[in-house]
Structures are given as structure tokens and as C-alpha cells.
Structure 1
Amino acid sequence: MLLIRLSDWLTRSLMVLGAVWAFALCFLILADIVCRAIGTPLSGTKELVANSVVIIVFMQVGYAIRSGSMLRATFVVDMLPPAVQRLLFILCLAAGAGIFFFLLHAGITPALRSLANGEFDGEGALRVPVWPARFAIIIGAGLAGLNYLILLLAEILGFRLANLEL
């Protein structure tokens, strides 16, 4: 199905981009540590890292959901009958989709307001725009909600989806 392939491609792409971003961020943090050791810290590192962590998390959450690697504790659920396990799984998928679609809906206005007002984080030499993090939240939440919805429909209709892998 085209929607599933498009979602999978976007999910993989954002996960890889987020991983590359996290890798590059390691070098920024290392450079700041070295510069602090010689008495000249890099300005704005804290703001860049704080906003980047939010962006990276929301770039990768869709992949965690679609690949089946989202954290879950099933030690109690495993003791229940299979029919109850399936029902709980369906309810959890529906709740996950609902939560992320709610987050998408709730984040649109703040993201647009942040872009329109030119909201920045930090003071002094480096001011980091906040709107990229806010838009990453709504894009990531939308993709996460879509992936939960895909898994939910596949479970209800009895389709077997291959786990998303690189």
C-alpha cells in the first residue's frame, strides 16, 4: 500500500537524519568540553543541545513505533489469555495513536506562533530559533500517530506487516 511505503520511507529517513544529527552533536559537545578546559567555552552549546535533543527524539519516535522497538513491559500481560492480550494490544495502539494525534493538534498553534513571533532560546552571542523544535514535535507526533494507526488497522484486519528495518 502506498501510504505504508511512504510512511516507512519517511520514518526511516527521519531516523537516519536524527542519528546523524546526534552523532554531529557529540562533536559539538566534545568541542565545548575541550574549549571549556582551556577557558573559552563555545557560546550557545546549551541552547543548541537542548533544542536538538527535542528534535532528535521526535525525528526517531516514528521509527521506534513502526519497528516494534518502542519500550513496553509485558510481564503481566503475558499471563493473560491470548484474546485478552490482543484486545489490550489493540487498545494500546489506539491510545498511542490518540495521544500522538492530540500532541500534533495541540502543537500546531504554538509552532505557528513561534515562527510568526521569531521566538528564540538563549541570550547573548548565540540565540537559537525555537520554531524548528516545535515543528519537529508536530511532524514527529503526526508520523508517530500515523504509524500507530497503521499498526492498529493491520492488527484489526489481520494483516502481517514486516517490521521496519534499515
Structure 2
Amino acid sequence: MLLIRLSDGLTRSLMVLGAIWAFALCFLILADIIFRALGTPLSGTKELVANSVVIIVFMQIGFAVRSGSMLRATFLVDMLPPRLQRLLFILCLVAGAGIFFFLLHAAITPALRSFANGEFDGEGALRVPVWPARFAILFGAGLAGVNYLILLLAELLGLRLGNLTLWGGFDV
């Protein structure tokens, strides 16, 4: 299905970009530590890291949903009959989609306001724009909601979707 392939491709790409960004951030933090030891810290590191963490999380949350990596505690659910397990799974998928679509809706106004007002974080030599982090929340929440809906439809229609993997294939 086209929607699944588009979502999976986008989900995978954002996960890889987020991982690369996190890796690069490690070097920025290391450089700041070294320069602090030399008495000249890098300006704006705190602001860059704070906004980057938000962006990285929301770039990767769609992958966590679609790959089945979201946090679950199944020790009690495993003791229930299979039909009740399936019902709970469906309810959790509906709740997950609802939460992320609610987050998407709630984040629209702050993201637009941040962009329109030119909101920045930090003072002095380096001021970091906040709007990319706010739009990452929008986009990531929307993609996570779509991925929950894909999983829900697959469950309701009895489709077998393999877990999305970074390098391997998956079944549709």
C-alpha cells in the first residue's frame, strides 16, 4: 500500500537523520567541554542542545511507534485471554493515535506563533530559533499518529505488517 510505504520511508529517513544529528551533537558537547576546560566555553551550546534534543526525539518517535519499540509492560496482559489481549491492543492503538493527534492539534498555534514572532532561545553571541523545534513536534506527532492508525487498520483488517526495521525488510 502506498500510504504504508510512504510513511515507512519517511519514518526510516527521519530516524536516520535524528541519529546522525545526535551523533554530531556529541561532538559539539565534547568540544564545549574541552573549551570550558581551557576557559573559553562555546557560546550557545546549551540552547543548541536543548532545542536539538526536542527535534531528535520527534524525528525518531514515528520509528518507535511503527517498529513496535514504544514502551510496553505486557506482564499482566500476557495472562489475559487472547481475545481480551487483542481488544486491549486495539484500545492502546486508538489511545496512541488520539494522544499524538491531540498533541499535533495543540502544537499548531505555538509553532505558528513562534515562527511569526521570530522566537529565539538564548542571549548574547548565539541566539537559536525555537520554531524548528516547535515544527518538529508538529511533524513528529503527526507521523506518530499516522503510524498508530496504520497499525490499527492493519490489526482491524487482519493485515500482517512486519515491524519496521532500519536496514531489513518488512512484510505488507
Q: Same fold (TM over 0.5)?
A: yes
Q: CA deviation at 1:131?
A: 0.1
- CA deviation string 1:91-130 (max 9, x = no partner): 0000000000010011011101100000000011110000
Q: Which amino acid aligns with 2:54?
A: V
Deviation of 1:71 after TM superposition, in Å, equals: 1.2
Alignment of 1:60-139 (within 5 A): 60-139=60-139
TM-score, structure 2 as length reference: 0.96
Shift of 1:33: 0.2
The residue that corresponds to 1:19 in the other structure is 19
Counterpart Cα distance in 2 of 1:49 and 1:73: 31
Query: Where does residue 170 of structure 2 map in the other structure?
Result: none
Q: In the alignment, what sits opposite 2:151?
A: 151
SS in 2 for 1:126: coil
Structure 1: distance between partners of 2:163 and 2:89 = 16
Q: Kindly state the Cα deviation for residue 163 of structure 1 after the two structures are TM-superposed.
A: 1.1
> Following TM superposition, by how much is the alpha carbon of 1:70 offset from its aligned partner in structure 2, in angstroms?
1.1
Runs of 4 or more consecutive aligned structure 1 residues displaced over 4 Å after TM superposition: none
Partners of 1:164 and 1:143 lie apart in 2 by 14
Deviation at 1:44, TM superposition (A): 0.3
Q: Which runs of 5+ in 2 are unaligned?
A: 167-172
Identity of aligned residues (%): 87
Deviation at 1:69, TM superposition (A): 1.1
Q: CA RMSD in A?
A: 0.5
Distance 1:101 1:54 in 2: 18
* 1: CA distance, partners of 2:154 / 2:130: 36
Question: Residue 76 of structure 2 aligns to which amino acid in structure 1?
Answer: V
